[in-house]
A and B are shown apart, each in its own frame.
Chain A
Amino acid sequence: MNKKPSKAQQGNELNKRTLKKVVAQIVLAQGNTFIKELLRSNNIQIGNTKADFAQNLNAAIDAGALTQGAIEAWLGEIEGWGNQHVYLFEPSAIPRTGIRSALEASKHAELLVRKVSYEFPVALSLSTINLTGDHLSITWHRGRGGWERAKAKDFQRDEGPDSFEYRAYRERFDRSVVRFEWRLSDPYSAIMIQLPNEGDEHEKALNQVWQDLKEAGLLPRPLNKIRLSPAFKKIGRNTAAIVQSTRLLAQGGHVDLVSTQTEGGIEAVEAVREVRRGVDDANFLAADGMFSFAEEKYKQLSRTIKMEGHGLDSRLRIWVQCKRDDVYFVLSVIWANNSA
């Protein structure tokens, strides 16, 4: 029996005009590689520039070759993945079978039917809740204006005896996504934050995540952060990852090992590599590092991923836009090295 779509679901249906707006604001803001993939997978002519992409995407929407469903499935893989900070936490103690009922009973129940949100409010706001199979994915959105230096618009003006220099900035709009991701079979859950780690930005975002998860009936209190230094130490020594730098921290000091090569990490620099070999990891309490997971070595990746690890605050920073599977693959490497 066909179920009639709910009001919320109907509200999710976008007309072609609105869909084109989504393309202009969100789809075209993604990396060219990913846009090409969207075009290719839907048998749409590709092109070379963003202008080509826009034209071809709009034509495909008009022709009915590109649907809202296809765009949303693609955005689910791309939007809010990569270029983010990731914290790992112990999973919630809530029974797996109780998650859906807890969500349905909470004040956020209506978000369960919303697949994608195109709204980016000024304040970080709970946006979608997806529970499919063994995967719970909750997102928060925030949109914020920023200022981008536009030197070409600078000018000088003399007023009487004084000379004035005017420096121009162009307003820009940044979209940020914060995620709580939990694959129920994983021994960890993750909070992924696309906000700069400046001031108390992350602390505020984390507090909001905990508050909303509590209101959603998923946890009574914040989860415990998982220490990641063991993984950063181990990846910094014995993996296929390229280690561009590593910092080992002890009480009273630290050791920095850095490769300044454009290709190749400290393993490629004999003198630095031999210093690394002389270090006993057990003498150091925490480790940071800048690592590169090359797609040639890690075949599961769709692209090379540059990742920065911060052992002291158990945080990792992914420096490139990538896909959901890429992020999960990097996390699996971290996890394997953290528990080995």
Chain B
Amino acid sequence: MTEDQLRERFGDKAVDALVAQLRSGEAPEIDPLLFGAKLAGAGIVVEVKSLLDAASEAGLVARVSIWQCPEPSCRRLIDSDAVANRHCPYCGTDYRETGDDPVEAVVYRGSTAISRSVPWLIAVHGFNTRGPWQEDFSWRIANRFKYHAPVVIYKYGLVRLGVLFRWRHRMLARRLVQQIRKAITHARENQIEEPPDIVIHSFGSQLFRLVLDFADCSDLRFGRVIAVGSVIRPDFDWSSYIRDGRIEAVLDQCGGSDWAVPFAQFTIPGTGPGGRHGFTDPAVINVRNGEYGHSTAFTEVELARNLAHGGLWDRFLREPLATFSDPTRFVPNAWSPAHGLIRWLLRAFVVVLLSAATLVLAWLIILHVSGSHWACLC
């Protein structure tokens, strides 16, 4: 049986629900009774065991024979050791004495990929802002997961001119490292051993890239990374960090209307338009929303949408990577930076322009102050 035949026989809604169930990674096996209840709750009426049997013929699930304890009050699934020992490890029944044999039953097994739980998160904002979205993000995460998934908010102040200089990048990245290390220690003290997931915005992504590059930070591990309006170069080698276990996966949330990111390479040293072009590394999941500007993803409405159950970020953070999919996913073209001379000249021009503007401003202030002083004397 093919999936098309399955759809013809049981209807699209039932098969879509089954596929969604398998992709969610909620549990490796499907209990027909519970799945039936879920379908009924969604108004889908179908003979569930027939659907699952047919789905096994279509290769969507595996139909596996297992053993159950024969005691009516137990009925737990038992393994081959319990069958060989003739002793239920759950209810303690000695089958040698009762003379009963384990009962053969069937389970339906989906993908072995299982979902994950977000352990804790770090949020890093961009430049020219104090990242007011971080508080909203933290609040939404606290409400989204009923267990405790703390959010570390990294704030480094209102940086404007500092983004022009590499030494300033390194200084801010070092501060980020300090905060991450402190947070890791604190998380461990509170029974959270897993590495954090991280959401990085704009210039914050450049700081995160530097953290990954620091030789003395090779012990720092991260879970899933969501990059929004990223200014990391599109040809950044994420795969090597994934291979080394430094990070688990990357979602690049691109904005089709992000007009800030394309200029990054001309003003901020060591950067590129990753948040607009996408990352060419095949390990990265690039998604694009044509409506998104540089920070649209962090507006109240969009944050709520992305973090809601089934929202794009929620699914990326929780679902098994093997089955993760999204209609906005795309594969970017190859990318190469603008000519180095052009980038250097433009950056020099911006630095000179901003320096001149600062000098003029300072001169005007002095003139104003001294003018007032002379007026007072006269």
| Nearest B residue (CB) for A259 | B27
Contacts of A267 in B (CB 8 A): 114
A270 touching B85 in the complex, CB below 8 Å, given contacts A149-B96, A150-B99, A264-B114: no
**Bound form: Cα–Cα A31–B81 in Å:** 10
> Which residues in A have their C-beta under 8 angstroms from that of B84?
31
Q: Are A172 and B96 also in contact (CB < 8 A) when A270-B26, A290-B89 are?
A: yes
Which residues does chain B contribute within 8 Å of A114, judged by CB atoms?
none
B64 at the interface (CB under 8 A from A): yes
Pairwise interchain contact A148-B115, C-beta atoms closer than 8 A: no
Closest to A147 in B: B97
A interface bracket (residues with beta carbon within 8 Å of B): 20 to 34
Contact A83 to B191, CB < 8 A, known contacts A261-B29, A278-B147: no
Partner of B191, one of A237, A264, A273: A237
Whose C-beta in chain B lies nearest to the C-beta of A303? Answer: B81
What chain B residues lie within 8 Å of A271 (beta carbons)?
Answer: 26
Contact indicator A149/B99 (Cβ below 8 Å):
yes
Tell me how far the C-beta of B174 lies from the nearest C-beta in chain A, rounded to whole angstroms: 30
User: CB within 8 Å of A: which of B146-171?
Assistant: 146-148
- In B113-127, the 8 Å CB interface with A consists of 114-115, 117
Check: A94 CB closer than 8 A to any chain B CB: no
> What is the CA–CA distance of A238 and B84 in the complex, to the nearest angstrom?
30
Q: Would A149 and B97 count as touching, CB distance under 8 A?
A: yes
Which of chain A's residues has its CB closest to B318's CB? A270
Contacts of A172 on B, CB cut-off 8 Å?
96
Min CB gap B275→A, angstroms: 31
Which one, B81, B97, B98, contacts A306 given CB within 8 A? B81
Whether B82 is near chain A, meaning CB under 8 Å from some CB there, is yes
Once A260-B77, A290-B89, A319-B89 are accepted as A-B contacts, the answer to whether A277 and B27 lie under 8 Å apart by CB is no
Instruction: Check B66 for interface membership: any CB of A closer than 8 A.
Output: yes
The answer to whether B27 and A268 touch across the interface, beta carbons within 8 angstroms, is yes
> Which residues of B lie under 8 Å from residue A112 when comparing CB positions?
none
Q: How does the 8 Å CB contact mask read for B95-119 relative to A, with 1 for contact and 0 for none?
A: 0111110000001010000110100
- Tell me whether A264 and B28 are in contact in the complex, defined as CB-CB below 8 angstroms, given that A238-B193, A319-B85, A319-B89 are known contacts: yes
Is B349 among interface residues, defined by CB-CB distance under 8 A? no
* A149-B99, A150-B99, A274-B146 known; A261+B27 contact, CB < 8 A: yes
Residues of A within 8 A of B145 (CB): 274
CA distance A320 to B27 in the complex (A): 26
Minimal Cβ-Cβ distance residue in A for B105: A262
* Size of the chain B interface, CB-CB below 8 angstroms: 35
Q: Which residues of B contact A261 (CB under 8 A)?
A: 27-29, 77
Given A150-B99, A260-B77, A319-B85: A275 and B27 interface contact (C-beta under 8 Å): no
Give chain B nearest CB distance to A317 CB in angstroms: 8
Interface centre among A147, A150, A273, A281 (most CB of B within 10 A): A273
From B24, B64, B81, B84, name the one whose CB has the most chain A CB atoms within 10 angstroms: B81
Q: Contact string, B175-191, partner A, CB cutoff 8 A, digits 1/0?
A: 00000000000000001
Residues 17-35 of chain B, each 1 if its beta carbon lies under 8 Å from chain A, else 0: 0000000111111010000
| Cα(A149)–Cα(B27), bound, Å | 38
Which of B24, B77, B82 contacts A319 (CB under 8 A)? B82
Nearest residue in A to B25 (C-beta to C-beta)?
A: A270
From residue 266 to 306 of chain A, which have CB atoms closer than 8 A to chain B?
Answer: 267-271, 273-275, 277-278, 280-281, 290, 306
Rounded to whole angstroms, the CA-CA distance of A260 and B147 in the bound complex is 22
Note all chain A residues with C-beta closer than 8 A to B64: 262
> Are B147 and A274 in contact, with the CB atoms below 8 A?
yes
CB <8 Å contact, B89 and A306:
yes
Q: Which residue in A146, A269, A270, A277 is a CB contact (below 8 Å) of B148?
A: A277
CA distance A286 to B194 in the complex (A): 24
A–B pairs, 15, beta carbons within 8 Å: A146-B96, A148-B99, A260-B77, A261-B27, A261-B77, A263-B28, A264-B27, A270-B117, A278-B147, A280-B191, A306-B81, A308-B89, A319-B82, A319-B85, A320-B81
Seen from chain B, the residues whose Cβ lies within 8 Å of a Cβ on chain A are 24-29, 31, 64, 66, 76-77, 79, 81-82, 84-85, 89-90, 96-100, 107, 109, 114-115, 117, 145-148, 191, 193, 318
